[in-house]
Amino acid sequence: MNTSQKILQLLGIATRAGKIVTGEELTVREIQAGKVQLVIISNDASANTMKKITDKCNFFNVEKHVFGSREELGHAIGKESRVVLAIMDAGFAGKFSDYLNEYNRG
């Protein structure tokens, strides 16, 4: 199983565990509340969404990664297409961080 598949599979597990929040507005609200450990944003997000989420993550010191298409992210969590996913659990965030860094190194 390649790293991309591992990330998508872990998204499904984290979703079933109730440790993921989706959607731009809800993610921003949870970042401001200090509850978000890591943010995943799709590579086909609009420039406006990318800037808004990146600015919030930088300001509140939340790790952010760009990964997958909106359809891939949505499918992985069993929903329609999703542009922004927020990981709320530190354990899951650590594993996602490892996988995403490995994925980005190629």
Query: Using one digit for the tens of pLDDT, what is the confidence trace for 6-30?
Result: 999 999 999 999 999 999 999 999 9
**Structural domains in the chain?**
3-105 (3.30.1330.30)
| Nearest CA among 85, 87, 51 for reference residue 68 | 85
pLDDT score of 93 more than 90: yes
> Which residues on neighbouring strands pair with residue 86, listed in sequence order?
21, 39
pLDDT band at 46 (very low <50, low <70, confident <90, very high): very high
pLDDT at 106: 78
CA angle 69, 16, 72 (to 5 degrees): 10
CB 18 within 8 A of CB 83: no
- pLDDT, average across residues 24-47: 97
Provide, rounded to the nearest whole percent, the portion of the chain with pLDDT above 70.
100
